[in-house]
Amino acid sequence: MTKMSHAFIICSANQRKRIPSLFIIDVSDQMEDDKLNILEATKLHKSYGNKFNKQEVLKGIDIRIQKGEFVSIMGPSGSGKTTLLNVLSSIDQVSDGTIQIENQDMTKMKEKQLAEFRKNHLGFIFQDYNLLDTLTVKENILLPLSITKTPKKEADQRFAALAKELGIYELKDKYPNEISGGQKQRTSAARAFIHEPSIIFADEPTGALDSKSASDLLNKLSELNQKLKSTIVMVTHDPAAASYCSRVIFIKDGRIYTQLNKGEQDRQVFFQDIMKTQGVLSGVTYER
């Protein structure tokens, strides 16, 4: 019996022209992609508890997110979605693994440096809005700019543009307890976008909203994602919410299970795909 041995050569498209080999792995596309990654998380592990009573919630997760993507993270309750979002956004520390945002390794930063990075580069939208009750809608939205000491004129211009875009400009002098849940969440979305962060992290942003307010918010997020080329990473358990995204990553028991790309599909078709995958993930089978 003859033994075959193959040489695999990893090269770019230019090099490829010069190498007359059958066994070439062309990584030129991948190299191109890597340049655009705004977030790269590698071999993420996260455990809670102590050595006698340890619960491993994230069991080796790799995620790459490109600039301008609107990605959602789905998975059954307790699968580690919030934990994943919290470590990606540096709200919580990983047990092992690395997270790079804009080529900066978050896992190597000291707390002070991390706080600085968060306020300049990250935006957050939480399920329960996290607005300050003693500040008006406008003051809440301007908060990230007052922290970064943006000049007042520029801050006012950015506020007006964003608040009009999100349909809350008229509410600018109201307090959070004077507006609806949907309006509160659009206020918190404006606050997340105002300092033009590298990434916006949203944990179940529609979780407390009725379906009309939820679809209003998602339409606005999707419009802002396209107009401003902002990158959004959203955790949701709702297939309808996920269908507004360009990619859905499913996690199960702390590992990536699969992912779906919307591509050129219509949102309704993508929604059906997400529903099916979610069904398979939770053990539901479809019968004809």
Ligand X SMILES: Nc1ncnc2c1ncn2[C@@H]1O[C@H](COP(=O)(O)OP(=O)(O)O)[C@@H](O)[C@H]1O
Tell me the sheet residues that pair with 105.
100
Instruction: Name the minimum Å distance from CB 81 to Mg ion.
Output: 5
Cβ closest to Mg ion, residue 138 vs residue 237: 237
Residues that bind ligand X (rule: CB under 6 A) add up to a total of 10
**53 binding ligand X? (CB under 6 A):** no
Site of interaction with Mg ion (CB under 5 A): 81-82
Give the alpha-carbon dihedral of 170, 176, 182, 186, to 10 degrees: 60
> Would you count residue 57 as binding ligand X (CB under 6 A)?
yes
Instruction: Provide φ and ψ at 196, rounded to 5°.
Output: 50, 60
User: Considering beta carbons, is residue 81 or 262 the nearer one to Mg ion?
Assistant: 81
Q: Which of 78, 102, 266, 282 binds ligand X (CB under 6 A)?
A: 78
Q: Which of 77, 103, 177, 268 binds ligand X (CB under 6 A)?
A: 77
55: its two tokens: 């619960």
The Cα–Cα gap between 205 and 203 comes to 5
Binding of ligand X at residue 89 (CB under 6 A)?
no
Residue 164 structure tokens: 């009009």
Render 69-135 in DSSP notation, one character per residue: -EEEEE-STTSSHHHHHHHHTTSS--SEEEEEETTEEGGG--HHHHHHHHHHHEEEEETT----TTS
Q: How far is the CB of 92 from Mg ion (least distance, A)?
A: 12
Stretch that binds ligand X, among 72-80, 119-127, 149-157, 187-195 (CB under 6 A): 72-80
CB of 267 to Mg ion, least distance (A): 24
